[in-house]
Structure 1
Amino acid sequence: MESLTLRASPSSTASPPLRLPGRRRAASVRVSASGAGEPDLSVTVNGLKMPNPFVIGSGPPGTNYTVMKRAFDEGWGGVIAKTVSLDAGKVINVTPRYARLRADPNGSTKSPIIGWQNIELISDRPLETMLNEFKQLKKEYPDRILIGSIMEEYNKAAWHELIERVEESGVDALEINFSCPHGMPERKMGAAVGQDCALLEEVSGWINEKATVPVWSKMTPNITDITQPSRIALKSGSEGIAAINTIMSVMGIDLKTLRPEPCVEGYSTPGGYSARAVHPIALAKVMQIARLIKEEFPEGRSLSAIGGVETGNDAAEFILLGADTVQVCTGVMMHGYGLVKKLCTELQDFMRMHDFTSIEDFRGASLPYFTTHTDLVQRQKEAIKQRKAIRMGLQSDKDWTGDGFVKETESMVSN
């Protein structure tokens, strides 16, 4: 795909707005282990306490009260609801709107699914309905974390109204959808904002001057350098970054009908690509954002990682790069809400293997091992030089001595 070049605003280095009462910025901190001998999965991010780092990503798994309640009952650490805007009447979905890529090139229905594409839009349910369900969920689960995902047109008043109404419903934080790859870009919504630094800075300013709960800016991978918009969002006052959203894609062409998939009345449109196949791409983007946070925001910002998580090991990789939480959306669509139990068990197994007692014990542990190719070349030259300098055993018969005979013999034993 063709990358987009960002326009950096002259004021992009301006100081973030003054903090408003109630805004919580603290990154993850260690929470006391809840059980003797058991690795503790609990995390606290921006003041939000979760029993584990696994969060339902914004999308179908958080589309209404029934499914969000199911997520809490199954034990997910938090839920991010499907993205809402002021006027749901503009949102009209089509079906089929999903397509799958299987590992078998012949498309066997028994072959594992490695890629998933969707052309689904944001919530098509009335905002008031969603807000009432948020209130009900917070009433029933007051100690669980519910995050509202929001997206609006290029209009300051509309953004402020949406933020105020969603916050009044009792959500614990806001995730700003700067990254939806399809649907209504002509209204400067979603990725249309996240791919334009000048526009992103302006809209982020509107959001952060109004919001009183933590704000996570969700970034698009459909860009040359994901650190540029991430930096703008953080400097504009966002407490955290969520990444990545789906990758713009065309899932495939039906070679019998010659029509693209998913096919709606014979036609299709590019959509968002997710599932296991995007995990390596997500790891790279998360690594870049984690380094940005570490190097440029020493006071701390949070990072919520997204992309192809189906196992506890997938999550461990993100946390090793510096993620505070790990979001799952497509994985739930394929495996169900009970997946969280498997994720927790497998993550704890990984922690036991390394004697980690908390998430903080290993969060970011792999980040220092990324460097430049030039540095890799130099490191290898030095390593080869050092190996050559170390002589194993004697080089010739003339080197044998009477006094050190036994040690000289041992020096040439392979094990």
Structure 2
Amino acid sequence: MASLGSSRISGRSSVVEFPRIRRSSFIKSSRIGFRVFASEAQQEPDLSITVNGLHMPNPFVIGSGPPGTNYTVMKRAFDEGWGAVIAKTVSLDAAKVVNVTPRYARLRAGANGSAKGQIIGWENIELISDRPLETMLKEFKQLKEEYPDRILIASIMEEYDKAAWEELIERVEETGVDAFEINFSCPHGMPERKMGAAVGQDCVLLEEVCGWINAKATIPVWAKMTPNITDISEPARVALTSGCEGIAAINTIMSVMGINLETLRPEPCVEGYSTPGGYSSKAVHPIALGKVMRIAQMMKSEFGDKDYSLSGIGGVESGGDAAEFILLGANTVQGPWVWLKGRRTGLHWCDDARVGVVKKTLRRDEGFHEKHNFSSLKISEGLALPYFTTHTDFGTEAARRDSTKKSDKQGCKSDKDWTEMLCKRDREHGVLTEIFHCIFGS
């Protein structure tokens, strides 16, 4: 049977009991739930959120990656007020993971290869955690013992092996983590072993693996989607129908950062060679918004009565960037803000990276909510989504009205008159009229 405990959390105006949910494999409802708690006594916007039964003080989540590498950085994230932390992806055998150096390359706003200018993009060829699983499990357990009321999510990945997935899930759950994020999205290295994006890009494979995972897991499961696919809503749909409670999107975009015009070698260059890697940071933000919008539309139209969750990822560097994902329907927003704000030595991110940036992010986001008189996060969620349509539908009437206005203004009463007027104007400016005849007919 599912067990139901509670975590006592102190709010700004009162003390509230929030449920900690577990379930047996045959009770699906205990893994699902989405509520936002707002106190009428609070004058400031309430950014607290409960996603799939997991209470967070705010929707800002440290995404899986270097900021979730070890106990020290995850502890600091909790201390600095992040809503949740997703640890760097783990698997059963870390000995198979070999992270090379250098493994990062950056794109600046100037010319390709420029050493100056604002950094707008990063490429990385870093793999999942190369630390022994036993070490990571020990640190997960220590974090949950020290922060029992904070949300720790384990990112996991395994090869195409049911027994391996089951063993990994069981061992990680024993540490007390609150949820799983399944890495179906790593674009480099791991797909060569039928891991990561190799699963996220194959809906048949994805359905089977999700079935294994959700039959074993007793805590919420988020499926992290790859953007390296034509229609991201298809694997997202499969993950939800196969038992996952949430979707996270997007992971990095497969890329080649550039060629060094001095050495004529690709970047990042490892002993003269490179490999395509994952593209991230500000430059991918519009792409991420488009992918999340597509998933949100699918979830609303096909699963509108279900309490599934959506976590937005991609180029988030400020509270405003995060707000855009929420306006599209995301419940939480992930981002390694510390990558840009933190101090970097050599090829490893320091443990003293300034995760305190979340405090500034919170203030900027609260300003957004106050400006629009949003008393809670729930009110702003998905507000922008209804304003997307298709080229076929949108503007049809507006285009007809504009055409009529222009025609009336020019004294044109028919399409033929309008075409002749355009051709006459182009002849006067020395432009070939054949273009218009090809478009509008003779």
- Both proteins in one fold, TM over 0.5: yes
Match of 2:393, SS state, is helix
- TM-superposed CA distance for 1:109, in Å, is 4.2
Give percent identity, aligned residues only: 72
- Contact 1:26-1:47 at 8 Å conserved across structures: yes
- TM-superposed CA distance for 1:37, in Å, is 1.8
- TM-superposed CA distance for 1:105, in Å, is 1.6
User: What CA distance in whole angstroms lies between the structure 1 residues aligned with 2:256 and 2:265?
Assistant: 11
* Equivalence for 2:252: 246
**CA distances 1:342-380 after superposition (whole Å, capped 9, x unpaired):** 211111111111011111111000000001101113241
**How do 1:134-145 and structure 2 match up within 5 A?**
134-145=140-151
Match of 1:99, SS state, is strand
- TM-superposed CA distance for 1:387, in Å, is 8.2
* Gap change, CA 1:245 and 1:96, over 3 Å in 2: same
**CA distances 1:47-66 after superposition (whole Å, capped 9, x unpaired):** 10000000000000001000
User: What CA distance in whole angstroms lies between the structure 2 residues aligned with 1:213 and 1:24?
Assistant: 6
Match of 1:373, SS state, is coil
- Contact 1:218-1:242 at 8 Å conserved across structures: yes
Name the amino acid aligned to 2:364: E
- TM-superposed CA distance for 1:30, in Å, is 2.1
* Gap change, CA 1:198 and 1:34, over 3 Å in 2: same
Q: Does 1:57 align with 2:88?
A: no
Q: Does 1:206 align with 2:224?
A: no
Higher relative contact order (CA 8 A, sep 6+): 1
* Equivalence for 1:320: 327
User: What CA distance in whole angstroms lies between the structure 2 residues aligned with 1:383 and 1:43?
Assistant: 45
User: What CA distance in whole angstroms lies between the structure 2 residues aligned with 1:175 and 1:84?
Assistant: 11
Q: Give unmatched runs, 5+ long, in structure 2.
A: 1-23, 343-354, 407-442
Q: Does 1:30 align with 2:36?
A: yes
**CA distances 1:1-52 after superposition (whole Å, capped 9, x unpaired):** xxxxxxxxxxxxxxxx97437842123x221238632111111100100000
Residue in structure 1 matching 2:227, options 193, 212, 221: 221
- TM-superposed CA distance for 1:381, in Å, is 3.6
Match of 1:176, SS state, is strand
Moved over 6 A (4+): 385-388
Residue in structure 1 matching 2:278, options 255, 272, 275: 272
Q: Does 1:309 align with 2:316?
A: yes
* Gap change, CA 1:154 and 1:295, over 3 Å in 2: same
User: What CA distance in whole angstroms lies between the structure 1 residues aligned with 2:393 and 2:400?
Assistant: 11
- Contact 2:113-2:260 at 8 Å conserved across structures: no
**CA distances 1:121-173 after superposition (whole Å, capped 9, x unpaired):** 00001111101100000011110000000000000000000001111110000
Q: Does 1:356 align with 2:374?
A: yes
* Gap change, CA 1:270 and 1:373, over 3 Å in 2: same
- Contact 2:108-2:119 at 8 Å conserved across structures: yes
* Equivalence for 1:377: 395
- Contact 1:174-1:215 at 8 Å conserved across structures: yes
Match of 2:300, SS state, is helix
User: What CA distance in whole angstroms lies between the structure 1 residues aligned with 2:266 and 2:393?
Assistant: 44
Residue in structure 2 matching 1:67, options 57, 73, 78: 73
- TM-superposed CA distance for 1:213, in Å, is 0.3
**How do 1:4-403 and structure 2 match up within 5 A?**
19-20=26-27, 23-27=30-34, 29-33=35-39, 36-105=42-111, 107-298=113-304, 299-329=306-336, 331-336=337-342, 337-381=355-399, 384=402
- Contact 1:152-1:159 at 8 Å conserved across structures: yes
User: What CA distance in whole angstroms lies between the structure 2 residues aligned with 1:175 and 1:63?
Assistant: 15
User: What CA distance in whole angstroms lies between the structure 1 residues aligned with 2:120 and 2:192?
Assistant: 31
Match of 1:376, SS state, is coil
- Contact 2:326-2:382 at 8 Å conserved across structures: yes
- Contact 2:249-2:311 at 8 Å conserved across structures: yes
Match of 2:367, SS state, is helix
- Contact 1:274-1:308 at 8 Å conserved across structures: yes
Match of 1:371, SS state, is coil
- Contact 2:61-2:333 at 8 Å conserved across structures: yes
User: What CA distance in whole angstroms lies between the structure 2 residues aligned with 1:384 and 1:50?
Assistant: 49
- Equivalent pairs counted in the alignment come to 373
Match of 1:273, SS state, is strand
- Contact 1:146-1:171 at 8 Å conserved across structures: yes
* Equivalence for 1:13: none
Match of 2:88, SS state, is coil
Q: Give unmatched runs, 5+ long, in structure 1.
A: 1-16, 389-415
